[in-house]
Amino acid sequence: MLKTTLFFIVPGYFSYGRIKTNVDKVKILPDRLSLLANLKITASEKIKIARQLLKTVNFFAILDNIDDLDKFRPTFQVTKNENITRKDEAGKSLSQKLILKKEKYFKTKGGITKR
């Protein structure tokens, strides 16, 4: 594993076909990302992944070309399911006395066994 962190700084101008856009500088920090993602990556994977991530992130600049994006609210669920939880309803339950009387409710194997 490389001990140093690789920095890939993207210049502020990208092109995709005829689309050209300005985006802020993007830093891809493979070490930091692999730490956050709880992944171990080899030195060769690190270089490969960082290059590919950069290429992919560059492509996202296409979204900057959509002028009216701020007019739209974000969509998290496409079929608009709402209020999926029901209201709590208290049901009948056994009394403490009854529960303690009936052993079967508490029949479990001991957690600690004698040696």
Residues that bind other proteins in the complex, under the rule CB under 8 A: 16, 24, 28, 30, 33-34, 36-41, 45, 48-49, 52-53, 55-57, 59-60, 62-63, 66, 68-70, 72-79, 81, 84
Beta-carbon contacts of residue 34 (< 8 Å; ≥ 6 apart): 40, 41, 46
Which is nearest to 11 in space by CA: 1, 21, 42? 21
CB of 42 to other proteins, least distance (A): 10
Nearer to other proteins, 60 or 105 (CB): 60
Q: Please tell me the distance from the alpha carbon of residue 65 to that of residue 59, in angstroms, as a whole number.
A: 12
Please report how close the Cβ of residue 115 comes to other proteins at its closest, in angstroms: 27
Is the Cβ of residue 19 or residue 100 nearer to other proteins in the bound state? 19
Spatial distance between the Cα atoms of 18 and 15, rounded to a whole number of angstroms: 7
